[in-house]
Amino acid sequence: MSDKNVTENFITQIIDADIANGKHSNIVTRFPPEPNGYLHVGHAKSICLNFGLAQDYQAICHLRFDDTNPEKESNEYAESIKADIQWLGFDWGENNFHASDYFEQLYGYAEQLIEKGLAYVDDQTPEQIRENRGDFTTPGINSPYRDRSVDENLTEFRAMRSGEYADGSKVLRAKIDMQSGNINMRDPVIYRIKRMHHINTGDAWCIYPMYDFTHCISDAIEGITHSLCTLEFEDHRPLYDWVLDNIDIDCHPQQIEFSRLNVSYTITSKRKLNQLVENQLVDGWDDPRMSTISGMRRRGYPPEAIRNFVKEVGISKKESVISMTVLEDAVRNVLNKTAPRVMGVLKPLKVVIENYPEDKVEMLTGSNHPQDESFGLREIPFSREIYVEQDDYKENANRKFFRLTEGREVRLRHAYYITCREAIKDAEGNVVELRCTYDPESRGGTADGRKVKGTIHWISAAHAEPVEVRLYDRLFNHPKPAAVENFLDSINPDSLEILPNAMLEPGIVDQDKDVAYQFERNAYFKRDKTHETDRPVFNQVVTMRDSWAKLEQEG
């Protein structure tokens, strides 16, 4: 990958041409989220694009909250958005704005449109407006209030602002063309009455501007040069331009659309994500199974991996669904380089090494990263009783099973060869303990040069740190859950497996490092300190190998 945040694409080509022909000398972009929910992986694409372009062009990217709908907005959401952007590695500096910063100016521009005969107050009900708007095959019908005089419209609009009318009883509409083939141009509503407390302006306003009116003017006020948005706003661009062309403002940003980021087995609708939270199908917006940025952060995804993923996917106008494999590979590629190796046993099975001295503890040496010597070495205690994984033993195993079974020798990682002699069972027939012997001359190999095909990890029982491990699978069983009639029907009931009795080698739990670890032979894990109960919790970040390709072939 190049050193740039954003690889060359049709947007960078437009920017390069604008700079070359002198249209712009300085570039200004913006990221304009509505503070009505937590950001998801789709927003990560927009963040990396807008802030990344600003870095690549030594320019500025504004963070502007689109806070025009007080009914669903909160400071909690606003603060979470800031945290997500900073975690991804970007900063807006002093350029944090709000659409509500411009409410007075927006109101003034609305009066300008009225004075030019380009806006009118409509008394129709929302249902009548919707019905008279028509559809793709039926032209719209003019409102009976469309030809009100300028003076009457100004009087009515000012009365709306002063609180003389009930919520929903009147709206201000742009006067464009009810016959337009683009339904967005059929006299869109640009102001509505809504008595709601606003997170920024309190109770100062009882009318609020609509997004399509607010967004373009906010861009122009801030001097945005390139207003980048996803493809669903392509049909809104004529309205974006119409508003700016018909008010007295010097700046006219260029709106450019690009495709959304859709990832298989995920939902990227804040409304649907909110349903999951409200129905308690997940344990919050930051549940590690969620496609939210905060969920990915809690799970242990490195921000670098998300940036790399977005960069690899690229920017285009072509809609597509990106395989979860691509995202998880990006996570693996980073963690493979940055994650120290340790041994953790997820489902412990006790092993007694009968010929090892009972009171002996031996310190063995293990590499913290087999491909990077700079990670150094660590000491690992070894004793007579150890834990191994339950599935590292199989009774009456065939010749293709290279781990523990009666009479078979395996190598313990960083330690000795051991041979399984006997399995101890409980009353129900479950194997609860293995009796083994070891070859004291087998550290680092054997004198007779014999080889074993199986190497397994282990933990000294006397030194093991008990931890809870949480294994995550896809949240949805369908590769395109949004396409299912009721997306909740596609929820995977086995998306979370909690292992309360896992064991970790000593010295890891007490470390304050905010790092993910590779539990050798298992997966990558990161401690979830903010969601612990009576013991340390480690979330599975990603498996060692791709677990999605087969699922998506089946899907």
Q: Domain locations in the chain?
A: 10-258, 263-334+467-554, 344-457
Q: What is the pLDDT of residue 396?
A: 87
DSSP, collapsed to helix, strand or coil, labels residue 338 as: helix
Q: Tokens 């109770």 sit at which residue?
A: 203
pLDDT in tens, 38-50: 999 999 999 999 9
The answer to whether 37 and 273 have CB atoms below 8 angstroms apart is yes
Instruction: With residue 437 as reference, give the H or E element that holds it.
Output: strand 431-439
Cβ-based neighbours of 397, under 8 Å, separated by 6 or more: 403, 405, 408
Helix (H, G, I), strand (E, B) or coil at 358: coil
**Residue in the block written with tokens 């419209």:** 153
Q: Mean pLDDT of all residues in the chain?
A: 94
**513 has catalytic annotation:** no
Q: Is 34 an active-site residue? A: yes
SS3 221: helix
**409-427 burial by CB neighbour count: b if 16+ within 10 A, else e?**
bbbbbbbbbbbbeebeeee
* Beta-sheet strand order (sheet of 207-209): 119-122, 171-174, 189-193, 207-209
Q: What is the pLDDT of residue 37?
A: 93
Is residue 552 very low, low, confident or very high in pLDDT (cuts 50, 70, 90)? very low
Catalytic residue among 194, 260, 435, 480: 260
Q: Which of 325, 172, 175 is nearest to 239 (CA)?
A: 175
* First-to-last C-alpha distance (Å) of the chain: 31
Residue closest to 226 by CA, chosen among 55, 11, 65: 11
Whole-angstrom distance, CA of residue 540 vs CA of residue 533:
17
Q: Residue 441 is encoded by which pair of tokens?
A: 């001359």
Q: Which CATH superfamily groups domain 344-457?
A: Ribosomal Protein L25; Chain P (2.40.240.10)
Q: How many other C-beta atoms are found inside a 10 Å radius of the C-beta of residue 462?
A: 13
What does the pLDDT look like over 272-296, one tens digit per residue?
A: 999 999 999 999 999 999 999 999 9
Whether the CB-CB separation of 401 and 385 falls below 8 Å is answered with no
Task: Return all residues near 67 (Cβ < 8 A) that are at least 6 apart.
Answer: 34, 35, 73, 78, 98, 99, 100, 198, 199, 200
Per-residue pLDDT, 1: 56
pLDDT at 549 over 90: no
Domain spanning 263-334+467-554: which superfamily? Glutamyl-trna Synthetase; Domain 2 (1.10.1160.10)
Provide the pLDDT for residue 444: 75
What integer is the mean pLDDT of 378-389?
97
Strands (E), 133-276: 171-174, 189-193, 207-209, 226-230, 254-258, 262-263
Which is catalytic among the residues 133, 173, 237, 270?
270
pLDDT at residue 410 tops 70: yes
The pTM (predicted TM-score) of the whole model is 0.92
In this structure, how many other beta carbons lie within 10 angstroms of the beta carbon of residue 288? 26
- Three-class SS of residue 95? coil
Phi then psi for residue 145, to 5 deg, are -100, 5
Beta-bridge partner residues of 208: 192
| pLDDT surpassing 80 at residue 361 | yes
pLDDT exceeds 80 at position 449: no
Q: For domain 10-258, which CATH number applies: 3.40.1030.10, 3.20.20.140, 3.40.50.620, 1.25.10.10? A: 3.40.50.620
- In the annotation, is 403 catalytic? no
Cα 348 to the chain's mean position, in Å?
33
- Residue 26 CB burial class (10 angstroms; 0-12, 13-18, ≥19): exposed
Catalytic residue among 34, 156, 389, 520: 34
164-220 residue pLDDT tens: 999 999 999 999 999 999 999 999 999 999 999 999 999 999 999 999 999 999 999
What stretch of H or E contains 275? helix 270-278
pLDDT in tens, 93-132: 999 999 999 999 999 999 999 999 999 999 999 999 999 9
Confirm if 489 and 475 have CB atoms less than 8 A apart: no
How many residues in total does the chain contain?
A: 555
Alpha carbons 154 and 144: distance in angstroms, whole number: 17
